[in-house]
Structure 1
Amino acid sequence: MTQAASTGALAGLRVVDLTQMLAGPFCTQVLADHGADVIKVEAMTGDGTRLTAPFCEDDTLREYGGYFQSVNRNKRSIAVDLKTAEGVALVRKLIDGADIVVENFRAGVMERLGLGWETLRESNPRLVYGTVRGFGDPRSGASPYANWPAYDVVAQAMGGMMGITGPDRHTPMKIGPGVGDTIPALMLCIGILSAVHRVRETGKGQFVDVAMTDAVLAMCERIVYQTSYTGVAPGPEGNRHPLLCPFGLFRARDGYVSIAVANDPLWEKLAAAIGRPELGTDPAFATNAARVANVQQVIDLLEGFTSVRSKEEIAGVLGGKVPFGPVCTAAEIFADPHYAVREMLVDVEQPGSAQRVKIAGVPVKLSDTPGAVRRRAPMLGEHTDEILLAAGYGRADIDHLRAAGAVR
């Protein structure tokens, strides 16, 4: 693991993390990457993703697999039973000493525990309270689906993303990674940090609410204005772009490459690079409007060049001249020097295994206060004593909480 030269831009912020699965943990991990002290409050059995594969072959401990490792680094873990009065009181004490609390329970759960926003702000008026739910919190607008559970695929489907993704207009398709979770997570980060900035000016915290479906729709912004301006709802568009040409994927001898021509000067450069400079001034192709009208001809011309060459050969011709990139497999990413020099493949310890594993690094690079992967994901309750001692509990108090089954 790399050691940051500083403690990160968010050093000094304390976050009580009551989230699980992907959206909430991804949000709090971003805060932790940049120096926030994130206390992950888990149930006595732990976040359910601890049980999710893959595991290392030699891992006999099975404390957690790749899923949990990849979205919970840089955090400290405390295991608490929120079904006990002692456990709830403990979490309330932690929140009273925090800057931020983040949760992704269904609406109403925190209120039933006596840990709702209105209650918490009475004793901690500077608190920023962040939530991410499938359809948002009723405080911001009571969705008719507010009580529906939701995961990534639900947000992708209802937020409009699947509706414009697929091989043809009749076949919607799920996006590969869990963007229905990670996009809302990033939106929640923006909201939380905006509210933290406001606290510094006013001393007053606020409630930050992100609906997974809303966040996905915001990222699919084009479907809103296209429908509004034209009266026609866009559908799946395969590997092409409905408004720009050429802009998408093209067959290579050993896979696919992406080529993105967003204006006419780029088309001239592309035409020259593939040895067809006359196409740059041909009226049938010289303007984007003409290329969109003759899209299949453009595709056939380009694939006549790309399909007989390897991705590496095409890169030698187009790389650096026009927006271009090969469609990379994970194996190719692992071998690509770009990701090594950018520290985007980070080695971490895997408890229970003799081998180290790789997880994705920190993509946001700050010049003076860089974020970093400073520690692996925590084992369940690994920091319980440490956290409680810092919160003012004595050893006898901690022993009592354990005996009462309130903590692990």
Structure 2
Amino acid sequence: MPFTDAPLAGTRVVTLAVNVPGPVAAARLRRMGASVVKVQPPAGDPLGDYAAGWLAELDADLEVRSLDLKSPDGRAELDELLASADVLLTASRGSALRRLGLGWEELHARCPRLVHVAIVGHPAPDDDLAGHDLTYQAAAGLLTPPQLPAVLVADLAGAERAVSEALAGLLLRARTGEGSRREVAFADCAAELAASVRHGLTAPGGLLGGGFAGYGLYPAQDGHVALAALEPHFWQRAQELLGGADHDTIAATLRTRTAAQWQRAAEEHDVPLVAVAGAPGSSGRGSR
């Protein structure tokens, strides 16, 4: 793929982070122009066992090396990579990094200009606590049991935060000449994303939690539609299109056509309404 917009051209990234967040962050840094070497264990990235197609997309433009970091040869090769790297991305618990000689004090002594972005589950000093996306979402109040989440919210937010922290570390180094350790905790990411729930906005009955008729999911003749007419001008057009301003009237009207038909009508009337993806005839496009 062409990298026509490459603000990180000339930046060298080494990533040891496997599974979802690390590969997503590494791929984004690569799209921003950085050269990225992914160091994975000899058995490969576990994500390949669960979602091989996704991993192939993420790794497509990276240089991937399989190294046994517990062996002298593997460790020597990693040290050679780190000697010329600008950013190290990890997603291991602190104790595991220290066992590999990659604790921050030791790492900074060897590579004083290196920016280390450490993705962890919980902020220090609890960065050795076990967890995964599901547990971070659960603790933050983002789940509706027994339904499992459709999106790996904490993982993907953590990946974006890792990119931001890498950029912050590089900016700080440009000012001071020193590398720094930047920590990204999934638990913190999930908690921040739950702010709309904590403040009642998306809680059950809140404005965006079913309390406002102009914002919600409604059954159509087939499948469902999503209506998001928040601004006054959109809400006015939605009322004109749907014949009312209350949940019952809108629901009754929307049941009279298919989801795809309602999406076309909404586009014609400049109303933010789309067919929910997966519904028969859904295009998956969004109104603007």
Same-fold status (TM-score > 0.5) = yes
Match of 1:314 among 257, 262, 281: 262
Offset, 1:147: 2.8
Partner amino acid, structure 2, of 1:44: P
Residue 15 (str. 1) matches residue 32 (str. 2) = no
Q: Is the 8 A contact 2:223 2:276 kept in 1?
A: yes
Contact 1:52 1:68 in 2 (8 A): no
1:115 to 102, 109, 122: 102
Which of 49, 52, 56 does residue 51 from structure 1 map onto? 49
Worse-matched range after superposition: 312-321 or 181-190 = 312-321
1:262 is displaced (CA, Å) by: 1.8
1:29 positional shift: 1.2
User: Which letter maps to 1:80?
Assistant: L
- Structure 1 residue 160, shift from structure 2 partner: 2.2
Quote how far apart the aligned CAs of 1:239 are.
11
Aligned equivalents of 2:205 and 2:118: distance in 1? 33
| 2:221 matched residue in structure 1 | 253
Q: 1:238 to 1:314 in 2, by over 3 A?
A: farther
- Report percent identity of matched pairs: 25
Matched, 1:215 2:202: no
Unaligned regions of 5+ residues in structure 1, if any? 54-64, 228-233, 280-284, 286-297, 339-408
Residue of structure 2 equivalent to 1:34: 32
Partner residue, 1:90? 77
SS in 2 for 1:108: helix
Establish whether residue 328 from structure 1 lines up as the match of residue 281 from structure 2: no
Q: Could you state the TM-score of these two structures normalised by the residue count of structure 2?
A: 0.88
Name the CA distance, whole Å, in 2 between partners of 1:331 and 1:197: 49
Higher gyration radius (CA): 1
Q: Greater RCO between the two (CA within 8 Å, min separation 6)?
A: 1
Cα distance in 1 for residues equivalent to 2:189 and 2:53? 26
5+ long unaligned stretches in structure 2: none
2:88 equivalent among 92, 97, 101: 101
Indicate conservation of the 8 Å contact 1:245/1:262, yes or no.
no
Amino acid at match of 1:193: L
Specify the alignment match of 2:248 in structure 1: 300
CA contact (8 A) 2:237 2:271 kept: yes
What's the counterpart of residue 129 of structure 2?
148
In structure 2, the partner of 1:376 is none
**Counterpart contact for 1:22–1:71, Cα < 8 Å:** no
Cα displacement (A) at 1:256: 0.9
Displacement of 1:331 in angstroms is 9.4
Match of 1:374 in 2: none
Please report how far the alpha carbon of residue 21 of structure 1 lies from its aligned counterpart in structure 2 after TM superposition. Answer: 0.8
The whole-number CA distance in structure 1 between the counterparts of 2:182 and 2:212 is: 37
Offset, 1:332:
7.0
The number of residues matched between the two structures is 285
- Do the aligned residues in 1 keep the contact of 2:223 with 2:280 (CA within 8 Å)? no
